[in-house]
Amino acid sequence: MKDDKEEQTLKNYIDVTLEEYKALRNESRQCSANIFTALYIGFGAIGILCAVGFPLLNGEKTVDSGLIIFGLFIPVIALGISFLILAEATRFKRVGDYICFIEIKLSSLFKEITEKNIKNWTSCQKIIENKLLYPHVSIDLSEPLIWERWLRECPKKKFTLAGHLNWVYVLRIGLLAIISFLSFGTAVYYMKITSESKLSLDWIIFITIFLSISYGLTWVIIYCMGRRITKTSPVNMNEKDN
């Protein structure tokens, strides 16, 4: 009777933990969907503003409107989308961090089962990794619920397709940064060469310096935040605490 009760308690524990795991996985997928949505909306808005802004730059009475679009609207949108991506990436990392706890808890419960039923797994794992052109990892992939720990265990090489693809986040943020600086550079260029603008030379210099510093500092903050988010360490339970 006592064994049945313990078995039922263990089953309930596993069921609850798996439901928590599924909920976190759904949240992780939602984070990825939100990032893509932000990119679609951001690039769409930037494309529309470019299409509207270039004709305005060439007009005698509309040049100031074009300067505002390229000097203010597009860079601010790029910055806003970058912060949205970082916010979702932070949420994504927090979910992954907690999923590691769940994976380890359940793997510990199933460890005896996997050791009995799967023989010669280490050599099999190396063969599979070689066939898939994936780097070899030290963790045992025969354990259930190993996905998040496998992502962290994979070597962080440039442009690798295994593990956390940090270079994808760098590419997204980098592209937005390039668009921001090119847009601002376009505005500065037209401010210098055009005589139709109502802005005086002193105002042009002041605005250029102020926005340059503001954009530069903001992108430095984004870079530092992104570096911190993408730092992940392998979770190896075989290591002993110091």
Q: Let me know if residue 136 belongs to a domain.
A: yes
Span of 98-102, 142-146, 202-206 with lowest mean pLDDT: 202-206
**Which structural domain range is residue 193 located in?**
2-229
Task: Say what the pLDDT of residue 4 is.
Answer: 67
- For the chain, helix (H) and strand (E) counts, in that order, are 7, 0
Q: Let me know if residue 34 belongs to a domain.
A: yes
pLDDT exceeds 90 at position 209: no
Say how far apart CA 131 and CA 81 lie, in whole Å: 39
pLDDT exceeds 60 at position 241: no
pTM: 0.72
Question: What are the b/e assignments for 205-239, b being 16+ CB within 10 Å?
Answer: eebbeebeeebeebbeebeebbeebbebebbeeee
pLDDT exceeds 80 at position 144: no
Task: Say what the pLDDT of residue 242 is.
Answer: 43
Q: Let me know if residue 240 belongs to a domain.
A: no
Q: Let me know if residue 225 belongs to a domain.
A: yes
Count of structural domains within the chain: 1
Residues 70 and 200: beta-carbon distance below 8 Å = no
- The alpha carbon of 97 is separated from its chain's Cα centroid by a whole number of angstroms, namely 14
How large is the average pLDDT for residues 176-195? Answer: 81
Q: Let me know if residue 190 belongs to a domain.
A: yes
How large is the average pLDDT for residues 221-234? Answer: 71
How large is the average pLDDT for residues 100-126? Answer: 71
Q: Let me know if residue 236 belongs to a domain.
A: no
- Taking CA 35 as the corner, what is the angle to CA 89 and CA 95, rounded to the nearest 5 degrees? 35
How large is the average pLDDT for residues 129-143? Answer: 73
Q: Let me know if residue 193 belongs to a domain.
A: yes
> Any residues with CB less than 8 A from the CB of 20 and at least 6 apart, and which?
102
**In the chain, % of residues over pLDDT 70:** 75
Q: Let me know if residue 234 belongs to a domain.
A: no
Between residues 18 and 134, the one the model is more confident about: 18
Q: What is the mean pLDDT of the chain?
A: 76
Residues 78 and 68: beta-carbon distance below 8 Å = no
